[in-house]
């Protein structure tokens, strides 16, 4: 994430990854304020065993794209509603990547942060069958919860 204040939107990402049994790390790495750290983080990610990167940022939101420029790992971008534009600026910045440097872009804020965790798990589940089973169980539990709630209506 680009700054510590982004974590209020990303806590759900870490919670879901933990729930699904996906080891992960949480770091503050700013594309603008700590560019050398960002370059080092992204370029060393694969060598450190990372398989997917979730990068969240608000405003100009260059972090996901710059991370994607420095690694061939899948990068998932989460726009954060950090300005008066409520995340639309970040969404457009992340989604409009040039050809050749893809970033999978999620929705703005907490819904996107949750989906980023689920999408990362789906990517990883191709290599980790036990994760695929946990992800399927998560989806089944969601379905059961909706069906339970439907009875109340």
3-state secondary structure of 17: helix
Tokens of 61: 């939101």
Query: Token match 């300005």: residue?
Result: 83
Q: Are 103 and 76 in contact (CB under 8 A)?
A: yes
Whether 33 has a binding-site annotation, put simply, is: yes
Tokens of 75: 């990068």
Whether 6 has a binding-site annotation, put simply, is: yes
Tokens of 53: 């990167």
Cα 135-140-141 angle, rounded to 5 deg: 95
Binding-site residues from annotation: 6, 33
Residues annotated within a binding site for substrate: 6, 33
């Amino acid at each position: 994430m680009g700054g510590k204040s982004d974590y209020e939107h990303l806590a759900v990402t870490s919670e879901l990854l933990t729930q699904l049994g996906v080891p992960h790390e949480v770091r503050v790495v700013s594309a603008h304020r700590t560019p050398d750290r960002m370059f080092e983080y992204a370029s060393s990610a694969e060598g450190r065993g990372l398989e997917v990167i979730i990068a969240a940022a608000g405003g100009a939101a260059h972090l996901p794209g710059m991370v994607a420029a420095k690694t061939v790992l899948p990068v998932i971008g989460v726009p954060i509603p950090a300005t008066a534009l409520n995340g639309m600026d970040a969404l457009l910045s992340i989604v409009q990547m040039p050809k050749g440097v893809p970033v999978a872009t999620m929705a703005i804020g907490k819904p996107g942060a949750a989906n980023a965790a689920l999408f990362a798990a789906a990517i990883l589940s191709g290599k980790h069958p036990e994760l695929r089973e946990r992800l399927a169980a998560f989806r089944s539990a969601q379905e059961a919860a909706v069906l339970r709630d439907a009875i109340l209506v």
